[in-house]
Amino acid sequence: LRIQDTCGVHNLHGLPGIYSAIASVLVAGTASIHNYGNALGLSKVFGGRYDTNMIEVRTAGGQAGFQLALLISTLAFAIGGGLIAGLFARFITGICTVKEEEFFDDQPFWDLPEDADSYLPDEERSSPVAPSGGVRIEKFEVQTMDAEPYQRHPSKV
């Protein structure tokens, strides 16, 4: 699919959401008055199973079906929204002036300090900054509300 999830949204939000929805289908399908003590306890968790007079209007299987339907509709909206965003991004990429090798480079989009490469590993630097793997920090300042800036002498980290 050539999809890159640089922020981990799929792993952080997508998969746990799907696992939780599947678990909710299982829990809703096995929920009974015996598990929750009485109809009032069950109605607090699964409000759609009882009407205002505490008469059961939906079975546990019916509730599980609603949970599954909501999972499917959520996935449909997420996939549809992702496709629309992907098509939009593809269109923007077609008129974008950023070269493909700069896609994961912050330099074209942000005002970075001139020594920004010095914080990268040696193999990713565009030019060497310090000899043999060290990074030389020329000036280090910490600003606080009630103190003068703290300056550290140049040293090898």
80-128: pLDDT as tens digits: 998 998 888 878 766 767 777 777 777 667 777 777 777 777 766 655 4
Region 29-39: mean pLDDT is 84
The pLDDT of residue 33 is 84
Q: What length is written for the chain?
A: 157
How far is it, in rounded angstroms, from Cα 42 to Cα 127?
65
Q: Which pLDDT band, with edges at 50, 70 and 90, does 70 fall under?
A: very high
The pLDDT of residue 7 is 77
* pTM exceeds 0.85 for this model: no
How far is it, in rounded angstroms, from Cα 151 to Cα 49?
66
The pLDDT of residue 73 is 97
The pLDDT of residue 126 is 59
